Amino acid sequence: MRVFASRTSNLFKLNVEHFLLIHNPNFNSVREFSQSTAIPKKQLRVRDHGYDNYMEVEKKTRKVLKFQNLILSEPSQSLPISRLETLARRFGFTRHESGAFVLKFPHVFEIFEHPVQRILFCRLTRKAILQIEQERRALAAELPRAVTRLRKLLMMSNHGRLRLEHVRIARAAYGLPDDFENSVVLRYPQFFRLIDAKETRNKYIEVVERDPGLGTCAIEEARERVYRERGSDAEDIRFSFVIDFPPGFKIGKYFRIAMWKWQRLPYWSPYEDVSGYDLRSIEAQKRMEKRAVATIHELLSLTVEKKITLERIAHFRMAMNLPKKLKDFLLQHQGIFYVSTRGNQGKLHTVFLREAYRKGELIEPNELYLARRKLAELVLLSPRKAKVDGELVGYRRSRLEDEMGQVTRAYVEDACEDFKGKDDSGRDKDAEDDLTSDIGSDVDLGDEDDDCVDNVSLQRKS
């Protein structure tokens, strides 16, 4: 009797809810039911140590690049240790920490005694010079592909234009040289044009003509390869993405159903103009949310290392219709992206494309990526293996100067801007900081170059 009464009560409750749904579409119980089969808006970030360890090495490499720029900015390609310690204070190093930091990487920096002044100087080792030359050649060879990347970036924007300053900040991630305004934008007038907006006093890069041949996303090319392998059996991946959840990520029953529905949801391409569509319906909003995932996926696919900082993605937020709270949005899709907070005391957020990496390495490396990783290999080499005495004897100063010449790093992220007040165009180096509102209140936008300093002690042998 109690079972019958309970079933009757539940049936009556369902009928009442159905009646309220017809007369009031905003009924709460229906909203709660729909949330159970939708991807949760807020999720906790599950750490993947492979990517975090990658960023720990990146943190050391970024500090090494700062010291390299200080040395390369000198005409003699060397610096007295005393002056190096003074300049390094702008990076957050104390007087003795900079000297200890240089001694930690004998494969990159070499300490020698000046033959005339009889004081200690610092210069780059032969291995470091060869790495810089390798990166310079790779950057030059990458230039045609960098032009294509910039064209695709502009085509993804709403009006086919992006701020010059935003592209300048992200130039390293897309393989553009430091002087890309002259070597790329002005060199190819058939592809780009510079626009000076007088009302905002900002320069914009605009694509001259949209090329339909460049309007294919990387994920669409991946689906096409699967179609060729599986044929008609691959019909279920028509709108799907490659999903690879981090270890320890809990996938419940309703979350699995929500992912199944989301993978089959149609969406508009990031290169498609949606200005003529009516975006007020719920279906259109869902398509726009998935289009935002495809846009970020394409932004990462165009980068050299398949990663970029969240703060730099935020610069393109308005131009590409991306959500305001980017961090929460990316955490909804941890099977596609990984957000690492390592590298700058939690202030720096680096977004990885998960499908492009395996065991902490890029699956399809390019020459520029390999050249940059070569510096990381020099950083990770044990100091015990450095034959410092042998290098000092084998070096001839004249030969070293001939090899170095006018070596300047073709790409060093924000090169020498930490100790210069302005960049090449005369704008303040902190122009990136006035864009923090694009990221949302949940992200602490910090300067990528303000890395935390490891406490090390200087040990010198007499």
* The CATH number of the domain covering residues in 57-136+368-422: 1.10.10
| Angle (CA) 37 39 43, round 5° | 135
- Alpha-carbon distances of 242 from 63, 220, 228, 356, rounded to whole Å: 34, 11, 17, 10
- CA–CA separation, 57 and 370 (whole Å): 15
Per-residue confidence of the chain (462 residues) as pLDDT tens digits?
443 344 444 444 444 344 333 344 443 333 333 444 578 888 888 899 889 999 999 989 999 999 999 999 888 888 888 888 888 888 878 777 888 888 899 999 998 888 888 888 899 999 999 999 999 999 999 999 999 999 999 999 998 999 999 999 999 999 999 999 999 999 999 999 999 877 777 899 999 999 999 999 999 999 988 888 887 677 778 899 999 999 888 888 888 899 999 999 999 999 998 888 888 899 999 999 999 999 999 999 999 999 999 999 999 999 999 999 999 999 999 999 999 988 766 678 999 999 999 988 899 999 999 999 999 999 998 777 665 444 444 444 444 445 444 444 433 344 334 434 444 444 444 444 443 444 444 444 444 444 433 433 333 333
Q: Which helix (H) or strand (E) holds 71?
A: helix 49-72
Domains 57-136+368-422 and 143-212 share a fold: yes
Give pLDDT tens digits for 410-444: 333 443 344 344 444 444 444 444 434 444 444 44
Q: Residue 373 has which token pair? A: 């990783």
Give pLDDT tens digits for 195-224: 987 777 789 999 999 999 999 999 999 998
pTM of the model: 0.75
- Alpha-carbon distances of 341 from 51, 132, 323, 351, rounded to whole Å: 10, 28, 20, 9
Q: Among 56, 98, 91, 105, which residue's Cα sits nearest to residue 449? A: 91
- CA–CA separation, 151 and 456 (whole Å): 46
Q: Taking the domains of the chain in order of start, what are their residue ranges?
A: 57-136+368-422, 143-212, 217-362
* The CATH number of the domain covering residues in 143-212: 1.10.10
Q: According to the 3-state scheme, what is the secondary structure of 238-259?
A: CCCCCCCCCCCCCCCHHHHHHH
Give pLDDT tens digits for 277-309: 888 899 999 999 999 999 999 999 999 999 999
Q: Residue 17 has which token pair? A: 């809810």
191 Cβ contact list (under 8 Å, min separation 6): 147, 150, 151, 207, 208
Collapsing DSSP to helix, strand or coil, 188 comes out as: coil
